[in-house]
Chain A
Amino acid sequence: MLDILFKNCTIIDPFNRVETKADLLIEGGRITGLERDITPRDGIKTINLQGRWVVPGLVDIHTHLREPGEEYKETILTGLKSAVAGGFTTVCAMPNTRPPNDSASVTRFIIGRARECNLGRVLPVATITKAQKGTELTEFGDLLSAGAVAFSDDGLPVKNSRIMRLALEYALNFDALIISHSEDLELARHGVMNEGRMSTTLGLMGIPNAAEDIQVYRDVRLAETTGARLHIAHVSTKEAVEIIRSAKRRGVRVTCETAPHYFSLTEEAVEGYNTLAKMNPPLRTEEDREAIIEGLRDGTIDCIATDHAPHSTLEKECEFEKAANGIIGLETAVPLGLRLVKKGVLSPMQLVELMTVGPCKVIGLEKGGVRPGELADLTVIDPECAFHVTPQNLCSKSHNSPFLGETLEGRAVITLFEGRCVFDLHGMVS
């Protein structure tokens, strides 16, 4: 277990609403001191963290770990390595694996594998319907008992409104969370990018904002009708933000997330038929991007989730129309979030909140934050550290990032989980 003294940290802890400069003492893996000036006891390793942030271990509620079934893209082990390199100690594993996580045995397998890896916490999300077919509900009770934390057919929407209603109703028995991948499949059909100026420029078929908006509204209304808890995944349009904002005002139990690419990029990134900018929902326009940022600012959007979606070069180095949707995101989330802080759009506290307290509240996860007595579950962020996004510098098994070749500013440099150091970029701790 870890014994270490971090000097001169900028502690940003939204769990305890603390933002302060302090020293942080960790003994036996547990936080034992958090004060202005801690004198190091003999022999304890001391690191000066001047200029760096110490925050609670980040939480990503939308990660595709690909295991079981597509281990050539990512495994639970490589996914966790990528997570901790990005500063995340908790990830929610999306269920669209092969087989999908629609039974307690798959849920138990994921939890078991994660435990063997022993790098971070994996909380499985189970499917809403059996085999994601959209016809029959999965065994919510059994899946929750096995350790599932929410239900989602992510990758696919629940097409039938009555099935979605049944899911939300049945979830009431367990106060379970339903996560909606909101997309009107018929409207989105044949579309491979956002419908707009760029799709017309590139001669590609488009997916209109309305494909997302219509389904977001449907699911919000069903949550309102049933009184159940609903979470909207990867919000990308300005209209969806507005629908959720007004639903929250009415008291609907709805939360939502966006992904870093929706506040960092627009449809322009598809120029040159760039398959690394192909995702679902697609990158939208500047107007949407600004509305997403406003949603993050005013609290309409509860959290930042990566939608980390690893694909091998087989699925990406091909014709645009054939290419798979999705990008990896665990390792670039912090630098992209930091851009908003540097532009003065979000305060450091707001950003950390969106990546810790925000997601915890959505899934009902209790965490203690940075306070004495807690087992260390912390991330050290260096807001200035240059991060060259290259395949060699990424820990994920896949490298499908639109930021490949760029140098981003700031990243996680140390990650502590359950009192152990699980990531140490510059070898400062060990």
Chain B
Amino acid sequence: MKHLLGMRFLEREEIEAILDQAEAFKEILERPIKKVPTLRGKSVANLFFEPSTRTKLSFEMAAKRLSADTVGISKTTSSVVKGEDLIDTVKNIKAMKTDCFVIRHASSGAPHMIARHLDCPVINAGDGTNEHPTQALLDCLTIKERFGDFKGLNVVVVGDILHSRVARSDLMALTKLGATCSVSGPATMLPPYVEEVLGAKRIYDIKEAVREADCIICLRIQRERLGDLPLFPSVREYASFFGIFPEVLEYAPPESVIMHPGPINRGVELDPGLADSDRSLILDQVTNGVAVRMAVLVMLLAQNN
């Protein structure tokens, strides 16, 4: 593994290795002094060309726990906003002797392009409507912790699959690990060939979709992603036909769990009470995010030594 550009490029064994490594790091996170010297002297550049708070924080935290130095830019401070060429920007930062790049960008494929131009590891922290591999890894870790195994596990992803990089990475990772996946949501937000390409069955009726689901991954309904034309009639209608509420959960197996990549629109895609209930794994996801990102950083940078 030279870069982490997407789950698409990872073999099952590689995913499992990252999850194992992350589990080992979780133990460190439980210690009173949550820091190891593994990446001392390494510098990680967090380049967030698109606004993000959680993922950026999580990556910074992960790097610091490993004693790496971090520098970062976020959308407001970035010169890319002023129209500077993306490749120029990263080459300049690379020239300051950076060991690893973490890239969040609004264009699908931007980290891939950067990786082609740099001879150091690039981690995709979310590119356009393409992938968000570390989110998929933390979701997989969370599921693994709860269920132990992916074999025979049913996962349904609900929401805007078409524009969701989380959904795409989750589906690719989970199917590789052996889970059975399906997608549900407004048909205007389900991509073409989703079954063939992402291995997920389309189920139009949400009650039907949760019927056998061990795990329900709710996606944030991002109004800003919809552009000029809403893809569903109203938030109210979304909530009543595609939101995960106790009435819907009645159709799901009693031991099924709920996940969400955050931030939640409470009352839209997810019931406010359910988000905080014991069926929710949402805070486990956040904790696992740091562990998984530590694992990825170590695996990419240790190889590079």
B193, A273: Cβ atoms closer than 8 Å: no
CA distance A197 to B197 in the complex (A): 6
- Which residue of chain A has the shortest Cβ distance to B195 in the bound complex? A200
B107, A320: Cβ atoms closer than 8 Å: yes
- A interface SS class: loop
A321, B108: Cβ atoms closer than 8 Å: yes
Which one of A46-54, A58-66, A109-117, A203-211 is at the B interface?
A203-211
CA distance A84 to B2 in the complex (A): 45
Least CB distance from B215 to A in Å reads 22
Q: Does B278 contact A (CB under 8 A)?
A: no
- Which residue of chain A has the shortest Cβ distance to B197 in the bound complex? A200
Q: Does B239 contact A (CB under 8 A)?
A: no
A201, B129: Cβ atoms closer than 8 Å: no
CA distance A172 to B130 in the complex (A): 49
Indicate which residue in B85, B168, B192, B196 contacts A203 across the interface (CB closer than 8 Å).
B168
B130, A203: Cβ atoms closer than 8 Å: yes
A272, B108: Cβ atoms closer than 8 Å: no
CA distance A199 to B130 in the complex (A): 10
Q: Does A404 contact B (CB under 8 A)?
A: no
B107, A322: Cβ atoms closer than 8 Å: yes
B87, A317: Cβ atoms closer than 8 Å: yes
Within 8 Å CB of A386, what residues of B?
A: none
Least CB distance from A204 to B in Å reads 5
Q: Does A368 contact B (CB under 8 A)?
A: no
Q: Does B186 contact A (CB under 8 A)?
A: no
CA distance A200 to B172 in the complex (A): 12
B192, A273: Cβ atoms closer than 8 Å: no
Within 8 Å CB of B105, what residues of A?
A: 319
Within 8 Å CB of A206, what residues of B?
A: 192
CA distance A200 to B194 in the complex (A): 7
- Which residue of chain B has the shortest Cβ distance to A201 in the bound complex? B197
Indicate which residue in A196, A204, A319 contacts B129 across the interface (CB closer than 8 Å).
A204
Within 8 Å CB of A18, what residues of B?
A: none
Within 8 Å CB of A200, what residues of B?
A: 191-194, 197-198
Interface residues on A, range: 20 to 34
Per the 8 Å Cβ criterion, residues 6-49 of A in contact with B are none
Q: Does B109 contact A (CB under 8 A)?
A: yes
Least CB distance from B117 to A in Å reads 9
Per the 8 Å Cβ criterion, residues 62-121 of B in contact with A are 85-87, 105, 107-110, 112-113
Within 8 Å CB of A162, what residues of B?
A: none
Q: Does B267 contact A (CB under 8 A)?
A: no
Write out, one digit per residue, whether chain A residues 185-215 have a CB within 8 A of any chain B CB (1) or not (0): 0000010000111011111111000000000
Least CB distance from A207 to B in Å reads 12
Number of interface residues of B (CB under 8 A): 26
Q: Does A318 contact B (CB under 8 A)?
A: yes
A320, B192: Cβ atoms closer than 8 Å: no
Per the 8 Å Cβ criterion, residues 117-143 of B in contact with A are 127-131
Per the 8 Å Cβ criterion, residues 152-195 of B in contact with A are 165, 168, 191-194
Within 8 Å CB of B85, what residues of A?
A: 318
Least CB distance from B185 to A in Å reads 15
A196, B192: Cβ atoms closer than 8 Å: yes
Within 8 Å CB of A320, what residues of B?
A: 107-109, 113
Least CB distance from A192 to B in Å reads 9
- Which residue of chain A has the shortest Cβ distance to B129 in the bound complex? A203
Within 8 Å CB of A196, what residues of B?
A: 192-193
B198, A273: Cβ atoms closer than 8 Å: no
Within 8 Å CB of A273, what residues of B?
A: 108-109, 112-113
A204, B109: Cβ atoms closer than 8 Å: yes
Q: Does B227 contact A (CB under 8 A)?
A: yes
Per the 8 Å Cβ criterion, residues 193-246 of B in contact with A are 193-194, 196-198, 227
Per the 8 Å Cβ criterion, residues 315-340 of A in contact with B are 317-322
Per the 8 Å Cβ criterion, residues 282-313 of A in contact with B are none
- Interface residues of chain B, those whose CB is within 8 Å of chain A, are 8, 85-87, 105, 107-110, 112-113, 127-131, 165, 168, 191-194, 196-198, 227
7 A–B contacts, CB within 8 A, in A order = A197-B196, A200-B191, A201-B197, A202-B109, A205-B129, A318-B85, A322-B107
Other A-B pairs beyond A204-B109, A320-B107, 15, CB < 8 Å: A190-B227, A197-B193, A199-B192, A200-B193, A200-B197, A203-B108, A204-B129, A205-B129, A206-B192, A273-B113, A319-B113, A320-B108, A321-B107, A321-B108, A321-B128
